[in-house]
Amino acid sequence: MNEPLVELKNVSFKYDAETGFALHNVSFNILKGEWLAIVGHNGSGKSTLAKLLNGLHFPLEGSITVGGIPLTEETVWETRKKIGMVFQNPDNQFVGTTVQDDVAFGLENHGIERNDMVQRVAQSLEKVKMAQFLNQEPHHLSGGQKQRVAIAGVIALRPNIIILDESTSMLDPRGREEVLETVRELKQDYHMTVISITHDLEEAAKADRILVMNRGQLYREGTPEEIFQMDEELVKLGLDIPFPVKLSKILREKGLPLSRHYLSEEELVEELWTSHSKM
Amino acid sequence: MDISLQNVEYRYQVNTPFERLAIKNVSIDIPAGTFLAIIGHTGSGKSTVLQHLNALLKPTDGQVVIGERLITSQKKQKNLKEIRQRVGIVFQFPEHQLFEETVEKDICFGPMNFGVSEEEAKKRARAAIRQVGLPEEILHKSPFDLSGGQMRRVAIAGVLAMEPDVIVLDEPTAGLDPRGRKEIMDMFYSLHGTRGLSTVLVTHSMEDASRYSDQIVIMHNGEVYRKGTPKEIFSSPEGLLKLGLDVPEVVRFQLKMENSLNIRFSKTCLTMDELTDEIAAAMKRGAPK
């Protein structure tokens, strides 16, 4: 998992000449097969980063390489086959009139042969558990279902990397869980690399690695364990601390002998159970 | 101003092949000054209920009382302007509705539409922009030069400038970062108190519902599944979880603790402080012998 799949070197970007840098001197690697969460306040540069990775914009300075190929206007179509993106608003990315047309759209654009296409559409919808909705129109679907169709459209193109740009932020809790569960399975089955841009810290806590963006710069990177040690510093950055971490901190302040900050509720309950039964 | 929904039913596209029952038998009382949260899945009927609160929709059965006005399926409604002015709705992603050249013009649009003079509207715009925590200088900028969070506040100021008695919020924090979310909710909570508003919050966030509201209504499949104070609603979380709804983190953790340690806390905890006190006490008592 330590092989860099994407490399960013000193990347800077501005939307127009007069405004400040949306990204300033950002360098990091994305490793093959990891789940990387990118967190940061609104306007911190997270979404700009996603747009650069997908070649919707190009760096003003610095370079991005994807699978060893420098990402430029000449190579963008090649790299876009490797990176699929799921956006925030489920209603803005449904282009087909039915579920299967929507998934076929991307394949048609890439000139995939018909027989292959029919098979890939069926397979991808199977994978996101939407196969029984083939001929449904989008307005009959929930937000979570629409996002899963969007994911099917992405995986039909067999990318190595999937970028979730706040893809669950407009969904209700059930829709959010449906989508994340789907992505977790895909990651496992297809050995995909997942980049998740999110405000949901519970979700980030389950990532392999977290990048914290602040005002266009990479502020910190590390495992969830390391990042959530930052504690109040995260709040100052406009973020929050996940519930189990917050809870273990207060419990320690109230004199309970907990050995560390816990990132999941299960671990914390387990620890409490152990010391409870010893008393 | 009191609002009351009495056995309200609403069907979309009546007498067409597309007729669909959205809500039925919905009764909700919102006395003046209440902070009410409405919770439910996408498609549970929340948005349909919301549109009855200022007569954007007229019930197909039952009745809605808004202040002195009675809205029923039979009556042809005239002059709903007053209702629209007194019940302000902040829709989801309200910043998408900004359209004027300057922030000031955008905020003045609503009140002037309701017959307020330009001078008075400008005065209200200045007050409203301060209430949403933005500096007065911003009034002369284009709304499209602002950040997303600022645009949302401007859109909210536009509703406040109509000086409503009731404010209805549809997912007001969607898409904001954690700090932005807290700031906006704290702002509504303080406006609720200082201006003596009724506030109706439609949300997916059980945390916000539990923290800010006096009353909670849970919608499910177009009906009121349950209503009560946060304490009442969350004291039996199992039913909500069965419907696939969330419960606040504190409540969820209490349930996990109680089940895995096979103990019962003395009460339903709604705050971090209550929860940690209960856990500390339970740990002190030790395992049941």
Give the residue from chain B lying closest to A273, CA to CA: B261
Binned at pLDDT 50, 70 and 90, residue A279 comes out as: low
The three-class DSSP label of residue B162 is coil
Model pLDDT, residue B41 = 83
Cβ atoms of A77 and A138 within 8 Å: the answer is no
User: Model confidence over B104-123: pLDDT tens digits?
Assistant: 999 999 999 999 999 999 99
Write the residue in A175, A238, A265 that is nearest to B177 by C-beta.
A238
Give buried/exposed letters for A215-237 (b at 16+ CB in 10 A, else e).
bbbbbbbeebeebbebeeebeeb
Range with lowest mean pLDDT among A15-19, A57-61, A201-205: A15-19
pLDDT top residue among A111 and B217: B217
User: Model confidence over B225-237: pLDDT tens digits?
Assistant: 999 999 999 998 9
d(CA A214, CA A237): 7
Average pLDDT over residues A240-249: 89
Min Cα distance A278 → chain B (Å) is 8
Contact with chain A for residue B101, Cβ under 8 A? no
Enumerate the residues of chain B whose CB falls inside 8 A of the CB of residue A173.
204, 244-246
Q: What is the CA radius of gyration of chain A?
A: 20
Has residue A213 got a pLDDT over 90? yes
Residue A209: φ, ψ to 5°: -150, 150
Binned at pLDDT 50, 70 and 90, residue A217 comes out as: very high
Element (DSSP H or E) covering residue B70: strand B69-72
Enumerate the residues of chain B whose CB falls inside 8 A of the CB of residue A214.
none
Has residue B16 got a pLDDT over 70? yes
d(CA B284, CA A275): 10
Q: What percent of chain A has pLDDT over 90?
A: 43
Please report, for chain B, the start and end positions of each structural domain, with discontinuous segments joined by +: 1-92+196-230, 94-165
Model pLDDT, residue A1 = 54
Which CATH architecture best describes the domain B1-92+196-230? 3-Layer(aba) Sandwich (3.40)
In sequence order, the β-bridge partners of residue B72 are: B63
Binned at pLDDT 50, 70 and 90, residue A143 comes out as: confident
Positive/negative CA dihedral, A236, B35, A88, A14: negative
Average pLDDT over residues B212-217: 97
Write the residue in B42, B257, B261 that is nearest to A142 by C-beta.
B42
Enumerate the residues of chain B whose CB falls inside 8 A of the CB of residue A250.
272-273, 276
DSSP string of B57-86, one letter each residue: S--SEEEEEETTEEEESSSPP---HHHHHH
- Residue with token string 């539409």: B113
d(CA B227, CA B214): 11
Model pLDDT, residue B160 = 95
Mean pLDDT taken over chain B: 92
Model pLDDT, residue A211 = 96
d(CA B75, CA B73): 6
d(CA A40, CA A29): 18
Residue A59: φ, ψ to 5°: -60, 150
Q: What percent of chain B has pLDDT over 70?
A: 99
Average pLDDT over residues A176-188: 89
Tokens encoding A50? 């996603």
Q: What is the DSSP letter of B211?
A: H
Tokens encoding A101? 């047309």
Binned at pLDDT 50, 70 and 90, residue B75 comes out as: confident
d(CA A105, CA A214): 36
Min Cα distance A251 → chain B (Å) is 6
Has residue B288 got a pLDDT over 70? no
d(CA A36, CA A278): 38
Q: What is the CA radius of gyration of chain B?
A: 21
Enumerate the residues of chain A whose CB falls inside 8 A of the CB of residue B207.
none
Cα angle vertex B118, ends B113, B121, to 5°? 75
Mean pLDDT taken over chain A: 89
